[in-house]
């Protein structure tokens, strides 16, 4: 608008104002009082657009109505709206805004029964789309509201409903207020759960026990809801517990050492030894999970938190039912239930066991392990050896069912008789040889060989070897046999006593040099010792290892098998013969020539010097 036009308009407004003032004489408007101010504040835009001016008071009333009837469309605020129309794809929602909102029906899949008039929570997703409508989100609104509800439930301990969607590792996935929460397997129930699938697609009550705001994780528990009730039941039950009281319970858990019984909120343990009077390998041989049982209270601690229960105590002890006609000497049949190194336990009646010591399994005096005779599960026959009803103990014997082999021992194994036995064991002083089951004899180390010097029996034979033996002594009362092996052959020393008599000469080589001399082997049986001074040769030197020479026997002890030989004695004997011959010759010459006494002495001295090894 030009300056001229502006001035003209101002003049026209002024003229209208004047006319108005003339028409309404009693009333004076603000424009009449202060025309300049009026012109300055006049809304020229509305005047040019032809918009009628609205009084300030009416504008205030209009703004008040808008604020009271229309919501503030903030993006982060959840509001409640009403479904006013449903199409094939969308739901039209009235939230009292300037325009209706639109929500895709996909967000209502959880609620297939949605209808016009339903109230729903929504969040403004987009203020206006191309058609001028608000785009709302029911899903986002549910999430925001759900987190508010979940946090409130966690803070207040409120019980919430959840829908078990599926199984997952370690537990279940639960829908709580439209948010997925984790239900650990340990929090499903107070008792262990074996079938998780039975809870899928079920709506249950839960307690929110943990929230991780950083990772948006929620943990719920169904177990927590029933623990409070159980605790009350537990206190009531514990307060009524007494030793000897019989209660009904349900098998809650089975372990290798016993069975846990649920007594109605209180758990008790039946140890494996209190399940049955008979021996069992595992409790599942007697009970099974969820089985109802009557049990007796055996003991509990001061707080009654540990309760010891018994099942077998509800029936009479088998020893009390053992017939009075059962006595020592009776033959009984039973099953081997346990084997130890010292023997085997045999169950002759249910809950009644007897011990067969390993020494009562065989007449053999050579003890072995019980596993060599019986195995677990074997059905055997035995004889009752001892019976103590008060202490509930019984000892049995198996060997008593066969004849004692020592009964006719003198006929089967008289002194001097020869037999073949099996080496069963070694000691430092000899070898135990078994002639038959139950008949063992001892061969002392000195009776193993006529010629060999044996330090330990293992140098001569091995366990399991067969040996020819001769019965040397027999002690029937002491049940002892003394045997000999070397006696099965002639003593070679009887022959060697003549062959290697004192003074005999034999040719051999030095086998080994020792501290005080040397050894030589005349044959495989006789090893002789040569003292150091008897190794001297005729020329004054000494024999060394491997040198062959003649040796003279200077000692032979048959009892101790000791032979001593000498090389020096061989040539000294020759010298002695020469001296004797010279003396005789000198005496003959002296008789003929009658030499002087001095000449005879000189001749004798010369011979003596020669024997002493001296040379002129």
Can you read off the two tokens belonging to residue 541? 């030197």
For the chain of 616 residues, list the mean pLDDT of each consecutive stretch of 10.
53 52 47 64 60 57 52 61 85 77 79 83 67 69 78 84 88 85 85 82 87 84 79 74 87 91 85 87 89 89 79 84 82 89 87 88 75 87 89 88 83 89 89 86 88 85 90 86 87 80 88 89 86 86 88 85 87 67 64 56 61 50
Instruction: Output b/e per residue, 183-209; b: 16+ Cβ within 10 A.
Output: beeebbebeeeeebeebeeeebebbbb
Give the residue from 324, 346, 342, 321 showing the smallest Cα distance to 333. Answer: 346
Name the 3-class secondary structure at 605.
helix
Give pLDDT, residue 483: 92
End-to-end CA distance of the chain: 176
Can you read off the two tokens belonging to residue 571? 């040539």
Give pLDDT, residue 70: 45
pTM tops 0.75, yes or no: no
Compute the distance between CA of residue 30 and CA of residue 37 in angstroms, rounded to an integer: 9
Q: Are 203 and 163 spatial neighbours (Cβ–Cβ below 8 Å)?
A: yes
Q: Phi and psi at residue 578, in whole multiples of 5°?
A: -60, -45
Residue 428 CB-density burial (10 A; 0-12 exposed, 13-18 middle, 19+ buried): exposed
Helix (H) or strand (E) holding 237, with range, is helix 223-240
Please tell me the total number of residues recorded for the chain in this structure: 616
């Amino acid at each position: 608008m030009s300056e001229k036009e502006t001035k003209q308009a101002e003049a026209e407004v002024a003229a209208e104002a004047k006319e108005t003032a003339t028409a309404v004489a009693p009333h004076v408007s603000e424009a009449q009082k202060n025309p300049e101010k009026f012109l300055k504040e006049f809304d020229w835009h509305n005047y040019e657009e032809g918009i009628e001016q609205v009084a300030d008071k009416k504008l205030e009333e209009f703004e008040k109505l808008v604020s009271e009837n229309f919501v503030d469309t903030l993006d982060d605020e959840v509001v409640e709206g009403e479904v006013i129309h449903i199409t094939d794809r969308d739901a039209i929602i009235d939230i009292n805004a300037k325009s209706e909102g639109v929500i895709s029906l996909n967000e209502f899949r959880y609620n297939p029964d949605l209808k016009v008039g339903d109230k729903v929570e929504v969040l403004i997703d987009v203020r206006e789309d191309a058609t001028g409508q608000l785009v709302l989100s029911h899903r986002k609104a549910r999430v925001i509201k759900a987190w508010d509800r979940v946090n409130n439930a966690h803070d207040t301990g409120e019980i919430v409903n959840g829908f078990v969607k599926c199984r997952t590792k370690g537990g279940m996935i639960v829908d709580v207020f439209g948010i997925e929460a984790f239900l650990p397997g340990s929090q499903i129930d107070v008792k262990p759960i074996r079938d998780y699938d039975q809870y899928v697609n079920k709506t249950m009550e839960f307690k929110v026990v943990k929230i991780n705001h950083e990772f948006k994780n929620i943990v719920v528990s169904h177990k927590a809801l029933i623990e409070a009730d159980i605790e009350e039941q537990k206190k009531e039950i514990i307060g009524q517990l007494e030793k000897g009281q019989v209660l009904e319970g349900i098998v809650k858990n089975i372990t290798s050492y016993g069975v846990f019984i649920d007594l109605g909120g209180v758990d008790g343990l039946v140890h494996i030894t209190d399940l049955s009077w008979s021996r069992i390998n595992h409790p599942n041989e007697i009970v099974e999970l969820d089985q109802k049982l009557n049990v007796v209270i055996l003991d509990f601690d001061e707080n009654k938190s540990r309760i010891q229960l018994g099942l077998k105590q509800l029936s009479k002890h088998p020893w009390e039912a053992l017939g009075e006609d059962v006595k020592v000497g009776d033959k009984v049949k039973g099953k081997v239930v346990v084997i130890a190194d010292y023997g085997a336990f045999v169950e002759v009646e249910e809950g009644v066991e007897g011990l067969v010591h390993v020494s009562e399994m065989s007449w053999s005096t050579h003890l072995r392990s019980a596993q060599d005779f019986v195995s677990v599960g074997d059905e055997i026959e035995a004889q009752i050896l001892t019976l103590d009803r008060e202490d509930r103990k019984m000892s049995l014997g198996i060997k008593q069912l066969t004849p004692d082999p020592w009964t006719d021992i003198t006929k089967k194994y008289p002194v001097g008789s020869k037999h073949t036995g099996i080496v069963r064991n070694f000691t430092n002083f000899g070898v135990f040889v078994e002639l038959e089951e139950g008949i063992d004899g001892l061969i002392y180390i000195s009776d193993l060989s006529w010629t060999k010097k044996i330090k330990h029996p293992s140098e001569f034979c091995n366990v399991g070897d067969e040996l020819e033996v001769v019965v040397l002594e027999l002690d029937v009362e002491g049940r002892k046999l003394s045997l000999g092996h070397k006696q099965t052959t002639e003593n070679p020393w009887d022959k060697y006593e003549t062959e290697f008599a004192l003074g005999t000469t034999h040719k051999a080589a030095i086998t080994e040099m020792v501290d005080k001399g040397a050894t030589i082997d005349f044959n495989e049986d006789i090893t002789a010792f040569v003292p150091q001074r008897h190794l001297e040769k005729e020329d004054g030197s000494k024999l060394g290892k491997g040198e062959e020479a003649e040796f003279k026997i200077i000692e032979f002890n048959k009892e101790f098998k000791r032979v001593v030989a000498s090389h020096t004695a061989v040539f000294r004997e020759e010298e002695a013969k020469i001296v004797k011959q010279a003396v005789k010759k000198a005496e003959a010459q002296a008789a003929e020539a009658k030499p002087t006494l001095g000449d005879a002495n000189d001749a004798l001295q010369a011979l003596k010097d020669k024997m002493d090894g001296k040379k002129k």
